[in-house]
Structures are given as C-alpha cells and as structure tokens.
Chains A and B, each alone.
Chain A
Amino acid sequence: DSGVTQTPKHLITATGQRVTLRCSPRSGDLSVYWYQQSLDQGLQFLIQYYNGEERAKGNILERFSAQQFPDLHSELNLSSLELGDSALYFCASSGGQYQETQYFGPGTRLLVL
C-alpha cells in the first residue's frame, strides 16, 4: 500500500458526460501528479500540483481540469467525455516540490460507453 488513495476505483459513464476523480496523497506529501494510461499504453503525464498551485502541465486536454485543495487532496475533472477517454487514471504524490520519488495510487478505471 503506497498510502495514496483514489476514488472511485471504477467508473462507467456515457459520452458527453462529466466525471470527477479524487485523489488523497500520502500523509505529508505536497505534490500531486495525474497520469492517464490507455489500454496497452504507457503513462501520459497530465498535470502536477504543489501545495495547491499548478506546477507542471503535460498532455492534458482542454476538456480536462484539475485542482488541489487546502487539505492537499486533488480532483481531476473530465468533461464532454469521449470514447477515447476510457483509460486508467493514476494519481501519484511526492513529498515536496522537488522530491524525487513518486508513489502511485491504485488508479481509477474509467469506461466511457
């Protein structure tokens, strides 16, 4: 158990809908990262937050947004969902802005029908 929690574990929804994925980092970790992993694909970095502020942005679509709250949990919002958004979404956390090691949550499996 990495100490990073993600909810829900599974999510099934329809095209055009909006969903919110939640992540709680390890106790004391300030950085949260979001990744997307499509079937048989590698990890695509989406976005990073550090202590509530956006720090780095990767290949995140405009339909997607994220934020980190004062209690350090983070949410990833996916809107106008398309079939191609079906994937495993990981959250990872690390201790500081430049802390070198990430610890991953179990992921949220999103299926868009």
Chain B
Amino acid sequence: AQTVTQSQPEMSVQEAETVTLSCTYDTSESDYYLFWYKQPPSRQMILVIRQEAYKQQNATENRFSVNFQKAAKSFSLKISDSQLGDAAMYFCAYRSKAGNQFYFGTGTSLTVIP
C-alpha cells in the first residue's frame, strides 16, 4: 500500500512570513494525484490544493503553492504571507489514478504567531 509521511508534527510561523510543510510518499505508480487538506479548529476538512503527477508545473492557489519533486517523491506545501486564519492541521494525501482509496499523512499542526 502507498504510504504518506509528514515528518513535521508541528510547525510555527510568524504572521506575514512564509512557511513550508513537508510531505513524502512511497509509490511504484507513475500516475497519481496529490492533495493538501486543511483542518482548522472547527475540524472541517478543506481542500487547499491538488497536483496531478503527470503535470510538471507546480500547482498554485493564491498564497498556497507546492513544490512537487516526482523523482524524490516529495510534495511540500508553501504558504506565503501567512495569516492567522492559516492556523490549522494540514494533511497531505495521495490517490492513485487507477485506485479508489486515498492515503493520508498524519498531519502537521501549524501555528501562526501574531
């Protein structure tokens, strides 16, 4: 089975600064999807950004961007100009193109310091 690893249980960032959350995954597949989900204190799971493995260009959504390194099986999330509302648990997730199951990492808790 595929595994997703988030090696940073906790991170903190000063408001308006930039922070990068790490995610690595293990797969033998060549085509798949990667996601970052945000879970604020309300515990609602919110899609932040997604990346298709066959696309070399890194996905970007406003202040959120990814650094996708396919050969290294790395998928980090960069949050620019951090805001207080970015404080949340962030989960990295993997889904193969052919399969039905999503695999989630254990999450990184992000604190934003005013």
Residues of A within 8 A of B (CB): 2, 31, 33, 37, 41-43, 45, 48, 50, 55-56, 58, 88, 90, 92, 97-98, 100-104, 106-107
Contacts and interface: CB of A to CB of B under 8 A. Distances in A.
Nearest to A106: B44
B99 interface: yes
Contacts, number: 56
B104 interface: yes
A42 B50 contact: no
- B interface residue count range (under 10 / 10 to 19 / 20 to 34 / 35 or more): 20 to 34
Contacts of A58: 101
Nearest to A55: B100
B101 A48 contact: yes
A106 B40 CA distance: 12
A100 B33 contact: yes
A102 B102 contact: yes
A100 B97 contact: yes
Point out which of A33, A50, A98 has the most chain B C-beta atoms below 10 A from its C-beta. Answer: A98
Nearest to A50: B100
Given A42-B105, A42-B106, A56 B99 contact: yes
B72 interface: no
Nearest to A37: B43
